[in-house]
Structure 1
């Protein structure tokens, strides 16, 4: 029987196929490294979809399908993951694209009936967006979401873009442990890369 999302995110990263019982996924063979990566991806999806295990399952299925059909060896796990979570459970924006950042955070926060107070009446106003940058907006969103018990994370993209997701504040340690296991550099949105 599957654990509830709250129970599942409180667990440490699973390390064997018994942690997937009744999820409908068939893990066979001696693929321990791949299995552990998939187990960590599953834990990450549970963390970034708090209270929404159905979305996590859909994203995990799409992730596995994409990895099976992936021909480009340079296209890594994090790129595949980003594709399946974008605009639902994660964001990935160009370094100067303040408008897309505000829109993506608003879209994600709406999943929990939250609105981020950007400090202006209209956060889509061109004057406001032109007078700020993504790191400043990320810090502001991080602070506002913390008030409601959530943490905005950003991950290193290795380039001139910003990416991340939102988790429950109480899952901060689990998020860091899963990120380390996946080799993803993350830190709170208050401290952009």
Structure 2
């Protein structure tokens, strides 16, 4: 048999290489967690994030990298809504859940003024979190430091990994059952 091992030596060449403490590697891992089973979308978002960061310093001590990430994932793998914009929140979460052919039962008719009058984004986030946990997913939210809510959805089995990774990234996250 001919020795064709040389044909396989460069197979790792297609994979990006990062140092263990490399911030972009951690961002890639986060994108991998919030796009479960969809490496193509994660790669598109990673490339969009890197493009947005092209002129930025490699200093990740500020949160500008996170805001660039928010823009790269918004409405596909993440949400960012004003504190009172329940319609956008519901639309974003419904669209994100549809990626896995899931439908969130919001607990009432959001078009009904009586029901919608007493509901806010934190309440809806808690409902979405509880409903998606039934299917093995967790809604996460991160501290925007302002009057808005932001976050993403990941597999429930990755909860510990999400907490550890976000800690390394310096992002304060909580499950959707405990909105900021």
TM-score normalized by the length of structure 1: 0.79
The residue that corresponds to 2:3 in the other structure is: none
The residue that corresponds to 2:80 in the other structure is: 92
Counterparts of 1:130 and 1:56, CA distance in 2: 37
Is 1:41 the counterpart of 2:33? The answer is no
Structure 2: runs of 5 or more not aligned: 1-11
2:14 to 6, 22, 28: 22
The residue that corresponds to 1:189 in the other structure is: 176
- Provide closer, same or farther for how the CA distance between residues 65 and 52 of structure 1 changes in structure 2, counting only shifts above 3 A: same
Counterparts of 2:178 and 2:141, CA distance in 1: 8
Deviation of 1:70 after TM superposition, in Å, equals 4.5
Q: What whole-Å deviation, never above 9, does each CA across 1:23-43 have from its counterpart, x for those lacking one?
A: 3x576xxxx69x611000000
Q: Secondary structure at 1:68's aligned position in 2?
A: coil
Deviation of 1:127 after TM superposition, in Å, equals 4.2
Alpha carbons 1:91, 1:105 under 8 Å: kept: yes
TM-score normalized by the length of structure 2: 0.85
The residue that corresponds to 2:133 in the other structure is: 146
- Provide closer, same or farther for how the CA distance between residues 21 and 46 of structure 1 changes in structure 2, counting only shifts above 3 A: farther
Counterparts of 1:21 and 1:36, CA distance in 2: 18
Instruction: Give the aligned CA root-mean-square deviation in angstroms.
Output: 2.1
Counterparts of 1:124 and 1:51, CA distance in 2: 33
Number of residues paired by the alignment?
166
Q: Which runs of 4+ in 1 moved over 4 A?
A: 124-127
Deviation of 1:79 after TM superposition, in Å, equals 0.3
- Provide closer, same or farther for how the CA distance between residues 131 and 46 of structure 1 changes in structure 2, counting only shifts above 3 A: same
The residue that corresponds to 2:91 in the other structure is: 103
The residue that corresponds to 1:53 in the other structure is: 39
Structure 1: runs of 5 or more not aligned: 1-19
2:154 to 146, 150, 167: 167
- Provide closer, same or farther for how the CA distance between residues 173 and 84 of structure 1 changes in structure 2, counting only shifts above 3 A: same
